[in-house]
Amino acid sequence: MRFRLLRSRSFWFGVPGLLFLLWAWWVSIGNISTMTIGGHGFKMPRRWEIGQAAGEVYATWGLGGWPDWKFYPYHGEMQVEARRHWRRNLTWVRAGDPAFRYLIVGHHWLVLGYLVAWSGPVFWRSRRYRALAEWG
């Protein structure tokens, strides 16, 4: 008996996650989606933000203390010029405020990491299946 990939549960359990990542990447190319945690009249050190924009996932935070946990979701279309300059804008804010931090990860790295992590259980299952076929 042979290992059939399309009959493997390990394969089919990973498909929804891959489709979600690819959809999120496609949406983030022309849009910005964020979730901001902050308060009324908050300044940059009192604000945390996670989101995706211009094909990348990002997180920003300030070291000035905890926000008061009011959530502000936002989703909107980014203009082409804004897509080109949004990473540079984060760098400018960082230069003006030493307590401001940011982390940016491209969606392509998330998809690649997911594929590597997903191929592990599929490969392990195929080897296990072959070992069981040899015993029986």
Strands ordered across the beta sheet of 48-53: 70-77, 31-38, 48-53, 56-62, 100-106
Domains of the chain, residue spans: 12-130
* pLDDT above 70: residue 122: yes
Q: What is the pLDDT of residues 41-71, one digit of tens each?
A: 445 446 788 999 988 999 988 766 655 667 7
Give the HSE-up count for residue 37: Cα atoms under 13 Å, Cβ half-sphere. Answer: 12
| Res 45: pLDDT | 46
- Is the entire prediction scored with pTM above 0.95? no
* CB 135, CB 42: distance < 8 Å: no
